[in-house]
Chains A and B, each alone.
Chain A
Amino acid sequence: MSAVAASIIAACARALAGPSVRWVNCRPSSRQRVYFANHTSHLDFVVLWSVLPRRVREKTRPVAAKDYWSSGLRKRIAVNAFHAVLVERGNKTAEPDRLAVARNTLDMLLDAMGQEHSLIVFPEGTRGNGLQVGPFKSGIYYLWSKRPDVQFVPVYLSNLNRILPKGEFLPVPVISRVTFGAPLRLDANETKDSFLTKAHDAVCALRDA
């Protein structure tokens, strides 16, 4: 049932957001990947998920904030339909607990991926205004350091902030665009800063691609 519900929601999201999809130097594939994108709207993960080919999206799980997605209908959509991984946001926890929360989150993500699932993550950690891509949180770097075998695919989502911006609950059906870029090319000795810079640049480069 959940697969049907997810397909229906995805079809609605596609009708609402009318996304045009482009794969720039990248092809859809069911191998394990981490899709990381800019974040401007609650629709982001639904639309990104909905434009993946069916066999790919069956194995792709979004990562979403627990504080927003863990109650009522939202929880049913996120958890039951999309098998989302709900994580605590670092900025919502007190300083002494942060490290523990971060470790816990990382374990959850690794667990959720297993040997076959891909993830959709939003490394900014919060929704931006759609004009600039905010700085990336370090979680994605730690994910890579544990799973360097997985492809990290940058994605740029255009116009979703105009469909359902922060602070609004009614959507406006503007045409959106989803651009997938080439998987990051990384060295084994990548530092946290160099990784995050490469990842951030890769997403921004797709904005005008």
Chain B
Amino acid sequence: MSFKLDHQMFLVVNVVIGGLVLASMVGFILSRRVKSEDGRGAIDNLNARIRAWWIMIGIFSISFVIGPAGSMLLFAFVSLLALREYVSLISSARADHRTLFWSFFVFTPLQYWLWYTGWYGLAVILIPVYGFLFVPIRLVLSGETTGFLDRAARIQWGLMVCVYCISYAPALLTLNIPGYQKQNAKLLLFLVIVVQLSDVFQYIWGKLLGKRKIAPTISPNKTWEGFVGGVATAVALGTALWWMTPFSPLGALAMSVAIALMGFAGGLTMSAIKRDRGVKDFGATIEGHGGILDRMDSVCFSAPLFFHLTRWIFVSPHPSWFH
């Protein structure tokens, strides 16, 4: 597993940076124009988000320059931070302590190490099978039965979402796609761009046009207008990036739809958890965005599907219409 940073990659990164420069300028102009108290709050949040984007893209780019190990390490670290936010919020019993230690310091590194070594067979079952069995076994050894099933399920869920699902993003680097060798970094970039554009444009379209709430009991800020506008914009831009992927334009469109819809489902699901726990964000790590998990919720859900669709179609026998 290695990759080259080719001219397509540089082109896309430059376009992203150009987009961010544009966003920063718009944010600056808005901050000069808007005077009302309400508007100021929204613009300050917008500018905080844009600043955080600069930092996130900077870190992401550095990991690319380092190579596959850099990306694996970056996402392993993201998983640890996400799991930390999750565990902090989903309060755990004293008797969970050692099981949590295993989750953080054994399962998380092991999951990424397996992807790094290319051991596909174990990487895809480590947490769903062995983690699933290990958690209740370790919990039962603690001797505490109060809320047993509930406690076990919470830890299993945290491992699945924060570690297993997120690890599918850098796992894209391990796919051996005929005719696309050493280019997989662009696949990871494609996923991140489509899923994050979908989030960003749902936010923008929602702020501009949002009227009809799409899920009032879960996330009062999400609207039909934001959802449709965000998904459509992300799909359009994702399709326009087909040349950096192994997909045909139609294939890139289908993949973008899958990514954007799963990303939306992920955001909604994690919102339901936050609502249940009575908080707005999982943390305050990223200025304006909340926690790491608030930014990664859509990646958690879209990365596994994108990985397996790509693998199923390009690494196994596949329908010919897709190329």
Contacts and interface: CB of A to CB of B under 8 A. Distances in A.
Interface of A: 18, 20, 129, 159, 162, 165, 168, 170-175
B101 interface: yes
A82 to B, nearest CB: 25
Contacts of A165: 94, 97
Contacts of A129: 94
Given A174-B88, A175-B88, 4 more contacts: A20-B284, A173-B80, A173-B84, A175-B283
Contact of A173 (B104, B283, B284): B104
Contact of B97 (A20, A168, A175): A168
Given A18-B84, A20-B284, A172 B94 contact: no
A50 to B, nearest CB: 17
Interface string B129-162: 0000000000000000000000000000000000
Contacts of A170: 98, 101, 105
Interface string B101-126: 10011000000000000000000000
A76 to B, nearest CB: 25
30 contacts: A18-B84, A20-B284, A129-B94, A159-B88, A162-B88, A162-B92, A162-B97, A165-B94, A165-B97, A168-B97, A168-B98, A170-B98, A170-B101, A170-B105, A171-B101, A172-B87, A172-B97, A172-B100, A172-B101, A172-B104, A173-B80, A173-B84, A173-B104, A174-B84, A174-B87, A174-B88, A175-B84, A175-B85, A175-B88, A175-B283
A130 to B, nearest CB: 8
Closest 9 CB pairs of A and B: A175-B88, A172-B100, A174-B88, A170-B101, A173-B84, A172-B101, A168-B97, A174-B87, A165-B94
A162 B97 CA distance: 7
A168 B88 CA distance: 18
A129 B95 CA distance: 12
A174 B105 CA distance: 13
Contacts of B100: 172
Main secondary structure of the interface of B (DSSP, over half): helix
Contacts of A168: 97-98
A170 B100 CA distance: 10
Interface residues of B, number: 15
Interface string B57-98: 000000000000000000000001000110110001010011
A22 to B, nearest CB: 11
Contacts of A20: 284
A174 B80 CA distance: 10
A168 B97 CA distance: 8
A32 B100 CA distance: 40
B107 to A, nearest CB: 13
Nearest to B94: A165
Give the residue among A20, A129, A159, A173 with the most B Cβ atoms within 10 A.
A173
Nearest to A163: B97
A162 B84 CA distance: 12
Give the residue among B85, B88, B100, B104 with the most A Cβ atoms within 10 A.
B88
Contacts of B88: 159, 162, 174-175
A17 to B, nearest CB: 10
Interface in B260-284: 283-284
Give the residue among A165, A170, A175 with the most B Cβ atoms within 10 A.
A175
Nearest to A16: B84
A18 B292 CA distance: 13
B30 to A, nearest CB: 29
Nearest to B103: A172
Interface in B275-310: 283-284
A48 to B, nearest CB: 19
Give the residue among B80, B94, B283 with the most A Cβ atoms within 10 A.
B94
Contacts of B94: 129, 165
A66 B98 CA distance: 28
A165 B97 CA distance: 8
Contacts of B92: 162
Contacts of B101: 170-172
